[in-house]
Structure 1
Amino acid sequence: MQILGLESLVFGAEDMAAARTYLLDYGLDEHDAGPAGGTYEAADGTSVVLRHASDASLPPSNAPSPNLRETIYGVPSQAVLEEIAAELSKDREVRTDTEGTIHAVDDGGFALGFRVTRRRKFELPLLRFNVPGQSPGRGVNECAASKTEIIRPRTLSHVVYFVPDVKKAEAFYKDRLGFRVTDRFIGLGPFMRPAGTLDHHNLFMIQSFNSHMVGMNHFTFHLGSGHEVLHAGWRFAQRGYKSFWGPGRHIMGSNYFWYFNSPFGGTMEFDADMDLHDDAWTPREMLPGADNSQIFLFEAKDKWAPGE
């Protein structure tokens, strides 16, 4: 099944004003804002949909509020959408809404939907780097560092779930929806990508070991570079948002990261430069732990200059 990747994440929030400000400060563009909530888009149109946790139109929550209420994936055509609906209808309820999006629940208890993608092409300034031994990436006298640079999230990257039975959840995405396992933390869970993308993962699932490990762990959008992760994260921290983990760089996926506490029931990450894998890739297996979780990790501190 040619599922392209994440299209939209739908959240039920408790503090709507704080959630809205958070998404705007993260760099997303606001659309369709009103008393019921709004849609917050990256450059390609992938989005977060914000609703109040009590909104009756939301799927039932599988975790304490606030939390993720639905994960929506994009597909390239109506034919693929109908293929998914037919497959899932074999053993669960599948509902189609007035916009043509189909809705169901996965084997981990998470609501999920599928729709013909609304992603759009976008143009942002070309990211260029000067590397000794290679042709110059930037022109002579062209400076890279700018306090006023605009950093835009480009596309939804991935979402991470705590699940009660990781083997069952993995089998659902692999056998029913055609996801591939790219890597695995032994005893913890798989990194998975749908067939329509080469991104290392759109989905990572973590085995829940107690009743408190439920719902979404984190989610993120791709930025353009490791520099953008650092600069966007620095700005975010200066606005008062609390850093949870990072900045650093993962081993599984190789993506730069910086996680922050959020009003969505989990953390939200800045992410960039993820590995790409095709079907020739052999998944790695590693023991979970700090040495295998990141290749390096830093912690932000206040600005400093010599003599201060």
Structure 2
Amino acid sequence: MNILGLESLVFGVLDLDACHQYLLDYGLNLVEKNERGGTYQALDGGTVVFKLDTDPSLPKANAPAPNIRETVYGVADQTELDRIAAELSKDREVNVDQEGTIHSFDDSGFAIAFRITRKRKIVAPHVGINVPGQEPGRAMNECGVLLEGHSKTPRSLSHVVYFVPDHKKAEAFYADRLGFITTDRFINIGPFMRPAGLNEHHSLFLIQSFNPHMVGVNHFTFHFGSGYEVLRNGWEFAQKGYKSFWGPGRHIMGSNFFWYFNSPFGGTMEFDADMDLHDDNWTPRAMPMGSDTSQVFLFDQRKKWSPGE
């Protein structure tokens, strides 16, 4: 299967107003807002959609609200959609909606969907870094820090992370049935996986749940343009009163900069940038999960300070 990556994440929530404000403050662009919920979008067209948990149009829940209700992936064409539908129809129900999107469930009970991609080319300012010994990344007299007008909008939908009851069974489903590739793993915890049509380190991370009541979304995130954008936008997010959960820091698996915040979607939402890219020549690593393998460094947010104060 040549799945290209994430297209949309759909949530069943309890507080529509909180979700609207959260995503606006995070930096996503409003697409639709009504009495049933909303849709917010990154520069490439990747979206977050949310509705009240009781909305009958949502797929069946596999965990209490608020939580993720469907993960939507993109493919290049109808031929690929038909291949996926035929594969999944071998042992589970598959439905096709009026727009041609196919809907089903994975082996962990998460609703999954597939559609012809609606992603678009990202139009955004060039991000350049000046490194001694290399060609300059920015033009002469171009400042890396803009006091006004800096980019606040994420560029693309990055990844989603599930708590699953059986990480080996979950990994086998995505690998054997949908062609996902494991890039790295935490031993006895679960794999980082990318679909075959995407070279980013992961769009899916499966975490073993050791609590039968802990099933559902762990976190999700969009890619920003740089580590600077993660820090700058995360800082401004925190100043608006959102509670920092983890970060800022930089992961080892995937190398991405991160900053996680509590959210009204059932898990945390991350600011993310600069993820590793891998092809089929990459050899997956395996590490025990712990503080030394979860990040290469970690900072705590503090108030601004000046030597003159």
Aligned match of 1:235: 236
Aligned match of 1:137: 137
Aligned match of 1:196: 197
How big is the shift at 1:213?
1.8
> Aligned pair 1:251/2:252, yes or no?
yes
Aligned match of 1:166: 167
Q: Within 1, Cα distance between the matches of 2:252 and 2:180?
A: 21
8 A Cα contact 2:160 2:204, kept in partner: yes
Q: Within 2, Cα distance between the matches of 1:139 and 1:169?
A: 47
How big is the shift at 1:247?
0.3
Q: Identify the range of structure 1 (147-156 vs 278-287) with the bigger mean alpha-carbon deviation.
A: 147-156
Aligned match of 1:68: 68
Aligned match of 1:105: 105
How big is the shift at 1:72?
0.3
Q: Within 2, Cα distance between the matches of 1:99 and 1:67?
A: 24
How big is the shift at 1:147?
2.6
> Aligned pair 1:26/2:33, yes or no?
no
Aligned match of 1:146: 146
Q: Within 2, Cα distance between the matches of 1:65 and 1:122?
A: 33
Q: Within 2, Cα distance between the matches of 1:202 and 1:297?
A: 23
Gaps of 5+ in 2: none
Gaps of 5+ in 1: none
Aligned match of 1:81: 81
8 A Cα contact 2:257 2:274, kept in partner: yes
Aligned match of 1:5: 5
Q: Within 1, Cα distance between the matches of 2:104 and 2:87?
A: 11
Aligned match of 2:59: 59
TM-score using structure 1 length: 0.99
Q: Within 1, Cα distance between the matches of 2:283 and 2:129?
A: 31
Aligned match of 2:185: 184
Aligned match of 1:212: 213
Q: Within 1, Cα distance between the matches of 2:33 and 2:11?
A: 14
Q: Within 1, Cα distance between the matches of 2:154 and 2:138?
A: 22
- Which letter does structure 1 place at the counterpart of 2:66? P
How big is the shift at 1:38?
1.7
Aligned match of 1:304: 305
> Aligned pair 1:38/2:38, yes or no?
yes
Q: How many residues align?
A: 308
Q: Within 2, Cα distance between the matches of 1:174 and 1:270?
A: 27
Q: Within 1, Cα distance between the matches of 2:183 and 2:258?
A: 19
Q: Within 1, Cα distance between the matches of 2:32 and 2:231?
A: 30
Identity over aligned pairs, percent: 68
How big is the shift at 1:122?
2.4
Aligned match of 2:273: 272
Q: Within 2, Cα distance between the matches of 1:212 and 1:235?
A: 34
How big is the shift at 1:129?
1.3
How big is the shift at 1:151?
2.1
Q: Within 2, Cα distance between the matches of 1:176 and 1:120?
A: 27
Aligned match of 1:290: 291
- Which letter does structure 2 place at the counterpart of 1:203? L
Q: Within 2, Cα distance between the matches of 1:176 and 1:136?
A: 45
Once the two structures are superposed, residues 231-280 of structure 1 have per-residue CA deviations (whole angstroms, 9 ceiling, x without a partner) of: 01001001100000000000000000000000000000000000011111
Q: Within 2, Cα distance between the matches of 1:207 and 1:128?
A: 38
TM-score using structure 2 length: 0.98
8 A Cα contact 2:29 2:153, kept in partner: no
**Two-structure CA RMSD over aligned residues (Å):** 0.8
How big is the shift at 1:166?
0.8
Q: Within 2, Cα distance between the matches of 1:135 and 1:178?
A: 39
